[in-house]
Amino acid sequence: MRAAVYHGPGDVRIDDVQDPRIQDPRDVIVKTRTASMCGSDLYLFNGEVEHMVTPGRTTLGHEICAEVIEVGAGVGRFAMGDRVTFPYSVSCGTCFCCRTGQTAHCETSGKAIFGFGVAFGDLGGSQAEYVRVPLADGHLEQVPAEIGDEAALFLSCNLPAAVTAVDAAEIEPTDVVAVIGCGPTGLLALQLAGLRSGREILAFDRVAGRLDRAKELGAQPINVDSDEVDSAVAAATSGRGVDKVIEFAGRGDAFNLAVAITRPGAVISGGGVYLEQTHPVSLFDMYFKNLQIRLNGFANAKMGQWKAMQLMALGVIDPTSLLTHEVDLAGLPQAAAAFADREPGFLKMLIRP
């Protein structure tokens, strides 16, 4: 089969690789109908996590809508022809962590993640023609008929992550809410936050196109590189600072910004992926402001999938509005480079293998 394979920083190629096969009775094999590239995939694409990957071997991607084409003897919930999706991390549904809602920390799978290299289970990725899905009964999900293939791929990561972060923020109708990082998941979080707060959402980013989209969604765009951040926040909050921050940039400077713009007693709900292990933060600032920090970047996507499905099925949110580009596997390397470079107009790609 063909799959997107990591060969080095910025070097993803479409290679012929071995077809996946049933390795355990609990496995299923699926044929990819649609896939995409997540912002977290850029850590791999850009070469920031070289210790996690094997050049020439690691296949990429964890967002998918697929069709079941082979079923292991130990699988009871799925049959040939079922249209399915999976959360980015593999979970059994029965271990201690799964039962406590920490499905990304599944003890059975060992925190395995599709398409995230040797450090997370060495599983194949969704940017491929076929994928082996282990522990299928525990975490694979049927896609409702009213949700199309294009929307279903958002159920693997983007929308459940947004749901989790917004829920954790506990937004009240009178809260001033800030969203930091207006990529696809941040924009979904912005829309969900807008359903809970009666105030204008503050949207922070440095990419003009993303800020334009945030403005179209009713938010006040603030460019962190060129706008007067302090003045904008003060004007929107009577000088106190924001009540709730949802952080999806996943970088240390974005977290520092979140701390800086909050009022005393505020909540910071972090949905971004933080890789800095020695980034300095001010414990004093967080202590003195009585901040509540709730980090969910390593999201338990399985726990947010059901609500995400309901939001789409009922028409509350349409994530497909964020799709700006469509490619096949052959066009993926060029599109991935455009995504990484934040080319104007590029927000989210749809991949049809």
pLDDT for res 50: 86
Q: What pLDDT is stored for residue 121 in this prediction?
A: 93
On whether the CB atoms of residues 197 and 175 are closer than 8 A, the answer is: yes
**pLDDT(294) > 90:** yes
- Average pLDDT in the 151-168 region? 97
For the chain, give every domain's residue range. 2-157+300-351, 161-295
Q: What is the pLDDT of residues 20-69, one digit of tens each?
A: 999 999 999 999 999 999 999 999 999 998 888 899 999 999 999 999 99
By the 8 A CB rule, do 201 and 194 touch?
Answer: yes
- Using alpha carbons, select from 270, 298, 248 the residue that is nearest to residue 104: 298
Beta-bridge partners for 29? 70, 132
Number of residues written out for the chain: 353
* pLDDT at 297 exceeding the cut of 90: no
Tokens of 256: 């520092």
The pLDDT tens digits for 213-257 are 999 999 999 999 999 999 999 999 999 999 999 999 999 999 999
The per-residue pLDDT for 196 is 96
**According to CATH, what is the number of the domain 161-295?**
3.40.50.720
Residues forming a β-bridge with 142: 84
CATH fold group of domain 2-157+300-351: Quinone Oxidoreductase; Chain A, domain 1 (3.90.180)
* Same fold for the pair 2-157+300-351 and 161-295: no
CA–CA–CA angle 286, 292, 296 (5° rounding): 110
CA distance 342 to 329: 20
pLDDT at 295 > cutoff 90: yes
120, 53 Cβ separation under 8 angstroms: no
Place of tokens 């799959």: 3
| 3-class DSSP state of 27 | coil
- Tell me, what's the pLDDT at 267? 98
Q: What is the pLDDT of residue 51?
A: 85
